[in-house]
Amino acid sequence: MTVQRQYTLPNCNLKLEGLNTGDDTDPMAPLTVVLNSECIFPGTPHVLSGGREFLDALVKTVSDYAQSLLSGIPYPLPGEVSAAQPVVLKPGEHHRHHLMATVTAADGTATRQTLELNSVQLFDLVEAVDQLLADTLTLPDLTLQLSSLDRRHVRPAEPMAQRAVPAAVGLSTLAAAAALFFLPPVPEFEVQRRESEGASLSELVEQEAANLAEAEAPPDDSETATGDRAAGTDSDDDATVADPIAAGVALDRLATAAAITDTETLSELAAELEDSLADALDAEVAFEDDLIYRVAVSESGDILGYKYENDAALINVDSTPLPELTFISVDTTTTTDEPVAQFLVTFDEAGEVTAEPIDADELTDADSEE
């Protein structure tokens, strides 16, 4: 039986057509054979299509590219389309992303097409791929193979030249101090004064050796991570920049977290959230339309994730303080045990900020619709 599955978002549509191997009268039987898949971006005349090979390459390429953006680590991705890599994504200028693919026509001829995507289209493409992977009724055998990056891909937080300066200075000072021990002996009448200088020199050598050991010792990761979060900065080991993609993924991970239901606590968190966002918002910023976000907050008032609720919110997100005030954990495999509260935050045209608690039942309905 031929069935179709479609994942529709405002700026990207992913369509699959294939066969199921179950009961022909059951429309919910899993789709196991792909006859054709199409990736469509409304407003553009081009359509990327192909069979199972094209679909597998699209899923892997989009996932690898999104992971590279989320982690901030420039993982080496293919730069050109080839027989082994029929789909390629690479960054362009002015926050654009080039999606290139080899498309096979009905007559068997292969052509290469390139689409230039903006950030909104890329975000919806990632969301469509995520929905496909989460759908157990479509291609149950389609899984994403993830593996840790090699340490050589991680850029050091400080250039090698700067990290080598303390060790080089310590070694040169130690060598110069050691050379002084080989000077000719001094006259007998200056023995007492020279002995005192020798004692000071020994202390200098010991101090320089201690400085060298301290310069080569690795930093305390726990203290660095705690200091970074308290100061609101990003740490390579603990957090990433809270762009819309990273913040949306973080918000989805909180779907199973316990909800804060105490009315007084919700009121206090809402007031604190409004004050922090209003204080950080640029007084000269003006919006043509209201910006609406769904924001998750911990019991301590930390912003753990957010997601746009209208197009204006995504387009103008960099004009709001949300990316700077949101803490995103790099480890996306762990779940959050602490209870959270979710609010509907609105930045209106006058620059006023309001936060309204979202009822737990409404939140469950919204997640099921997505």
Domains of the chain, by residue range, sit at: 2-147, 160-216, 233-369
* Cβ proximity of 128 and 14 under 8 Å: yes
Contacts of 335 (CB under 8 A, 6+ apart): 253, 256, 257
CA distances from 22 to 19, 25, 319 (A): 9, 9, 51
The pLDDT value recorded for residue 224 is 41
Place of tokens 């690898």: 64
CA–chain centroid gap for 228, Å, is 17
pLDDT under 70: residue ranges of the chain: 22-27, 74-76, 79, 106, 145-165, 167-169, 171, 179-242, 329-336, 360-370
Distance separating alpha carbons of residues 313 and 274, to the nearest angstrom:
17
Structure tokens at 73: 């680590």
Strand partners, 328: none
Q: What token pair was written down for 264?
A: 């007084």
CA distance 213 to 11: 56
Total Cβ atoms within 10 A of residue 266 = 20
SS3 state at 2: strand
Which phi and psi angles does 346 have, rounded to 5°?
Answer: -125, 125
Number of H helices, E strands in the chain: 10, 11
Question: CA of 210: how far to CAs of 180, 216, 219, 304, in Å?
Answer: 19, 10, 16, 41
Closest CA to 63 of 249, 276, 239: 249
The first and second tokens of residue 254, run together, are 């909180």
CA terminus-to-terminus distance, the chain:
27
Length, in residues, of the chain? 370
| Backbone dihedral angles phi then psi of residue 326, each to the nearest 5 degrees | -95, 130
Q: Which of 124, 103, 64, 358 is nearest to 245 (CA)?
A: 124
pTM: 0.42
